[in-house]
Amino acid sequence: MFVEIKSPRWEGQLSQELRDAGRAKQEKYQGIEGGADDPWCAIRASIRKAYSKFHTRQPNLLVIADDRFMPLATWGDLPAEQALFITSSALGEVGYFTTQAYENLGGVALFKAEAALGGTLKYTLLLYANPMALQETWLPDNFVKTFAEE
């Protein structure tokens, strides 16, 4: 299986005005600042950036291990459902796994590692298989089943 890892960073969420003002050179978290987010866009952007690397003769997986203000895996399934499986174009286009446009990609995984109580690490991996993938690029069933059971 070929695995590509993308790591969108929090600086990419800043407006051009904030970047010009030097915000990207400051600490990531500043008090209780907040703002709107579009997590499905980050998933789609990662797919578009990586897609040319996926070949038609092997299973392909894109892992998104991001450093956004709120990591994609923290959102749960909603952003992935919107980015990958929505059948309407309400978000600008249909989900990437609803047509054959991304058939070379067997699936997407959202990965997060975070410190838990007691100093241990907690890992989250949310896996989304592409039902429109080519047979050759489909993720192995035992792989998908392993992560579906967690």
Spell out the per-residue pLDDT of the chain, length 150, in tens. Answer: 999 999 878 778 778 888 888 888 888 777 776 666 788 889 999 999 999 999 999 999 999 998 887 888 888 899 999 999 999 998 889 999 999 999 999 999 999 888 888 888 888 899 999 999 999 999 999 999 988 765
pTM for this entry: 0.85
Please count the other Cβ atoms lying within 10 Å of the Cβ belonging to residue 139. 22
Q: Side chain identity at 118, as an amino acid letter?
A: G
**Domain of 79?**
2-148
Please count the structural domains in the chain.
1
Residues 6 or more apart from 66 whose CB is under 8 A from it?
6, 7, 8, 9, 42, 72, 110, 112
